[in-house]
A = this chain, B = another copy of it.
Amino acid sequence: MYSVEVRDHVMIAHSFKGALFGPAQALHGATFVVDAAFFAPVLTPEGVVIDIGKAIDTLKAILQPLNYRNLDEVDVFAGVNSTTEVVAKFVFDRLAAAIAVGELGAGAENLTRLRVTLSESHVAKASFEADL
């Protein structure tokens, strides 16, 4: 299985509901360094999994509505905690949808799996990975 993985980041505020979050129930924030890995069993005739430029642009477009925002006020996270795991799943779902509608271009038809990893610090990260 081949993969290509690209990196971008967002800087967001949020708060969490639930005693297990302790002090993180207060309004705070995070830089999420976001890695998106695209998996395919074969390459295009050009020798790539997908067009890496399109991968970078699509990831940036998906992250843009989150960047410099308070996620408590972003509709897609209404009623849920925008934890690192939940945001990873959100980015995964949007990338999967972009792939399904052909935004990733050549090679996207070969993609069988996707993994989104969010590093929230030098000591903690979360990911969501699944078949497409």
Contacts and interface: CB of A to CB of B under 8 A. Distances in A.
Interface of A: 1-9, 11-14, 16-18, 20-24, 26-31, 33, 43, 45-49, 51-53, 56, 67-70, 80-86, 88-89, 105-106, 120-130
A53 to B, nearest CB: 7
B4 A85 contact: yes
Number of identical protomers = 6
A48 B85 contact: yes
A17 B8 CA distance: 25
Nearest to A19: B46
B20 A68 contact: no
B70 A28 contact: yes
A37 B81 CA distance: 21
